[in-house]
Amino acid sequence: MAPARRIGILTAGGDSPGLNAAIRGIGKAAIGQHGMQVIGFRDGFRGLAEDRSVLLDRRLSGILTVGGTILGTSRDKPHRMLVDGDIVDMTSAVVRTYQKHRLDALVCLGGGGTAKNALRLVRAGLNIITLPKTIDNDVVLTDATFGFATALDIATDAIDRLHSTAHSHHRIIVVEIMGHRAGWLTLGAGIAGGADVILLPEIPYRVESVSEAILRRVRRGSHFSIVAVAEGARSQEDAETYREAESRKRAASTPDEERAAVAALAAVEAAHAGNTLRLAAQLEALTGLESRVTILGYVQRGGAPSAADRLLATRLGSAGADLIDQGVFGVMVAARGEGTEPVPLERVAGKRRPVPLDHPWVLAARHVGTCLGD
């Protein structure tokens, strides 16, 4: 009898609700339906490069409802990994680990950055598939990413709870929600939680527009407001500065120009830190209303995954095991309607799905009178 086929699994990038559900979905389908052996690698691509492996066959029970990832995760890149103080290309080490364990395929759970790293490994000759994971919901060519639904529930619940204190004290409550480059989480939670103002990375705002919207509420007798702001939201002036810095980086034609452009962009990013606190102070000065800030931070990533994320992660994981059995590699397993679809990694890697300005959620927010800052 031929030896059982062997697959590896790792989780990369930020942690997200549903990772364990996805590991379980892949593992149980691979073992139970296809007779495979499943090996996990701890701490993302670093664990793969350093061969931190564990046999998963008997570790899949009881993890469906558990938050985080039993494998641990990291943001390390195979081709640029910090080793003893130096940046090293560890791709060859990754290939050696893959070959040492006689893997037929490797499943990488992560977002757009993970897809980019996975594509590099495909080009190094490995059989790879990825599953779309991120609370930001910004992976291209999939209807949804697992982790988003849970984070949306958490952020919405937080806004619900903030309404009572905002109303009681006649305050502006500014709540910061995760999302550096895409505003799906802030937009969804803002609409579901009834925020009066929603500020997104995709729609640069004017502080004056926000304060005017709050003062209109005051004139109508509403002496409190909830402002939901994505951590990557920028004023129109700051957004223009950021675009110019990005343009200089893209236009750089020499190593010196590129280093200078990268440093300039980093300075712009550093200047953005604390933007939510500055916004609250500006709104307090312009409206005369007391302002308070709530930064949800990593609480949005924590806790047990929602039913929706458990279902999505299980669907994607089991579909991934089926694709491996069929010999389909170099793809992301995308959610498509009630089913799944393999999408070539070349179409996913290095891309991001921002909120379209004409998206139905944006239109719905505007139609119910929500200020988007523009």
Residues annotated as catalytic (active site), given as ranges = 136
Radius of gyration of the CA atoms of the chain, in A: 22
Helices 148-169 & 184-192 angle (0-180, nearest 10): 50
Q: What is the 3-state secondary structure (H, E, C) of the chain?
A: CCCCCEEEEEECCCCCCCHHHHHHHHHHHHHHHHCCEEEEECCHHHHHHCCCEEECCCCCCCCCCCCCCCCCCCCCECCEEEECCEEECCHHHHHHHHHHCCCCEEEEEECHHHHHHHHHHHHCCCCEEEEEECCCCCCCCCCCCECHHHHHHHHHHHHHHHHHHHHHHCCEEEEEECCCCCCHHHHHHHHHCCCCEEECCCCCECHHHHHHHHHHHHHCCCCCEEEEEECCCCEHHHHHHHHHHHHHHHHCCCHHHHHHHHHHHHHHHHHHCCHHHHHHHHHHHHHCCCEEEEECHHHHHCCCCCHHHHHHHHHHHHHHHHHHHHCCCCEEEEEECCEEEEEEHHHCCCCCCCCCCCCHHHHHHHHCCCECCC
- How far, in Å, are 96, 97, 246, 321 from residue 331 at the CA level? 22, 21, 29, 12
